[in-house]
A and B are shown apart, each in its own frame.
Chain A
């Protein structure tokens, strides 16, 4: 039990971090190799589509794990999903529930045989419930004393791949990784020279599964 718990505690266990980093590097190198093929490489012309999907995500500012459902619109270029994430108290002492609406523009796609690789960027609007967070200022504070602190806007950019049925053009399960940040961190990095723009990003991983075939 304890060993399993330790595996999910970031930056405390070097071995896990190292393994995690190596796996991520390999994963991203494969994605890049697939996403940027040579000129001669043949590609298929079938237009895959995945109108609705379910997803499971690890980390990424919306909890330790989150689940969500969403769809792809506008000729497969815009995805929109709603997510619920949870951070249990035993991880680092606080319990956080988060609802997030994520919209992403898929700006690059490449289909290679049975795999489609895509890159996307977007914004997530996160509403979290934990201690001392609020949307409306509690009455015991003077007007305008604090700004609402339960909502954050989180920009992200990511890469994913999904398996495709070449005959029907339908998506199968897929995986993705994102690098994202939180609104206040971007503001702080621009406001303070002592905070580097490089240190405000974090990673998440997820899987998608089609739930309704179009």
Chain B
């Protein structure tokens, strides 16, 4: 019994000196360890110089859930890629929206040498995940323009957001831009059963192939290429457990996808 008592004492000492969070009030609290603001990352992207003759390339991965080891490997592999402008994670970065799960995710993506943008997934909304996401990454809807392209990141979660509804007016305003080619990135594919009824109709009304070059999604955990009834080119990424991410290359009004296994 003395050995167990010693072990308990040693554990307490370790928790004091080694643990990042010696005090935790609740697994559901929102005490973040580090910020990783999407707007700061966008500023980093804009500071990078893009050679006009070059293709605009970025990496896309999605749905790491509770698999931090494979996320770590993906980031290591992405760091070996050359001339990427940025990296996008397509949501479901946590399994239960808990602050420690977010903290572990941020610890890993901070190792990435490229600017790293994150969108929110349905799992990230669970518990107080929406509050935690806001504290770490900022707004769940955001966009930026880089050269001839406009990147639109959209929060399309409905049920987990208590049916408050995606910000369609914001999306409509962003998509009204006729000057730039648009890349639309969200977590749930707009043809999914979770986006049904009038939500589906609104998406089809807003997302027009004349302006949108490519849609990128996560959620389905399987790689698919789709052309919806609007003839809109869409890619759904495999989850991180599939050990692949994607390099998206944009040249003029063409978008191509390369699958990378690591």
**Taking beta carbons and an 8 Å cutoff, which residues of A are in contact with B?**
9-11, 17, 20-21, 24-25, 28, 31-32, 35-36, 59-64, 85, 87, 91-94, 96, 98, 107-108, 119, 121, 128, 130-133, 140-141, 146, 149, 152, 157-159, 177, 179, 182, 184-185, 187-188, 191-195, 198-199, 201-204
Q: Is the CB of B22 within 8 A of A132?
A: no
Is B18 within 8 A of A198, CB to CB?
Answer: yes
Chain A residue at minimum C-beta to C-beta distance from B9: A32
Stretch at the interface among B42-50, B67-75, B219-227: B67-75
Chain B residues positioned under 8 Å from A194 (CB to CB): 68-69, 72, 104, 108
Q: Please determine whether B26 and A28 come into contact, CB atoms closer than 8 angstroms.
A: no
> Quick one: which of B7-58 are within 8 Å of A by CB?
7-9, 11-31, 33
| Contact status of A93 and B21, CB under 8 A, knowing A107-B1, A131-B127, A191-B66 | no
Q: Are B4 and A202 in contact (CB under 8 A)?
A: no
Are A192 and B67 closer than 8 Å at their CB atoms? yes
**A130: nearest chain-B partner, CB-CB:** B28
- In the complex formed, the residue of B with least CB distance to A107 is B1
Tell me, in angstroms, the Cα distance from A189 to B27 when the chains sit together. Answer: 15
Contact flag A149-B126 (CB < 8 Å), given A10-B23, A91-B25, A93-B131: yes
* Chain B contacts with A in 62-104, Cβ cutoff 8 A: 66-69, 72, 95-98, 100-101, 104
What B residues does A94 contact at CB under 8 A?
Answer: 28-30, 128, 131
> Are A199 and B127 in contact (CB-based, < 8 A)?
no
A192 to B27, CA, bound (A): 19
Q: A93-B135, A159-B9, A187-B66 are in contact. List 20 more A-B contacts (CB 8 A).
A: A11-B33, A17-B22, A20-B23, A28-B13, A59-B24, A60-B24, A87-B29, A94-B131, A98-B26, A121-B4, A128-B28, A130-B26, A132-B127, A149-B126, A149-B127, A179-B12, A194-B72, A194-B108, A203-B16, A203-B22
Q: In the complex, what distance in Å separates the CA atom of A133 from the CA atom of B206?
A: 33
Q: Is B125 an interface residue (CB 8 A)?
A: yes
* Cα(A182)–Cα(B28), bound, Å: 11
Q: Which chain B residues border A157 with CB–CB below 8 Å?
A: 7-8, 11
Q: What is the total number of residues of chain B having a CB less than 8 Å from a CB of chain A?
A: 55
A193 and B69 in contact, given A10-B21, A132-B125, A132-B128 (Cβ under 8 angstroms): yes
Separation of A59 and B23 alpha carbons in the complex (Å): 6
In the bound complex, CA of A201 to CA of B19 (Å): 7
Within 8 Å CB of B8, what residues of A?
119, 121, 157-159, 179
Q: Are A91 and B69 in contact (CB under 8 A)?
A: no
Give bound CA distance, A99 to B221, whole Å: 36
One of A10, A132, A204 near B129 (C-beta < 8 A):
A132
Q: How far is the CB of A127 from chain B (nearest CB, A)?
A: 11
Q: Which residue of A lies closest to B73 (CB)?
A: A194
- Cβ-Cβ contact count across A and B, 8 Å cutoff: 177
Mostly, the A contact residues are mixed
Which listed residue (B15, B69, B104, B131) contacts A203, Cβ 8 A?
A: B15
Residues of B at under 8 Å CB distance from A?
1-2, 4-9, 11-31, 33, 66-69, 72, 95-98, 100-101, 104, 108, 125-131, 135, 159-160, 162-163
Contact A133/B13 with A11-B21, A93-B135, A94-B29 known, Cβ cut-off 8 Å? no
- Is B11 touching A179 in the complex (CB atoms < 8 A)? yes
Given the complex of chains A and B, what is the CA–CA distance between A94 and B98 in angstroms? 12
B4 is contacted by which of A107, A149, A204 (Cβ under 8 Å)? A107
Contact (Cβ within 8 A) B100 A96: no
A-B contact list, 24 entries, CB within 8 Å: A11-B20, A20-B22, A28-B9, A28-B12, A28-B13, A36-B5, A63-B26, A87-B26, A94-B28, A108-B4, A108-B5, A119-B1, A119-B4, A132-B97, A132-B130, A146-B126, A149-B126, A179-B12, A182-B27, A188-B101, A192-B66, A195-B104, A198-B14, A202-B15
Q: A132-B125, A195-B104 are in contact. Are A201 and B27 (CB under 8 A)?
A: no
Given contacts A132-B128, A191-B66, contact A25 B16 (CB under 8 A): yes
Interchain CA distance A104-B153 in the complex, whole Å? 49
Enumerate chain A residues within 8 angstroms of B126, measured Cβ to Cβ: 132-133, 146, 149
Residues of B within 8 A of A131 (CB): 127-128, 130-131
The CA of A91 and the CA of B24, in the complex, are separated in Å by 12
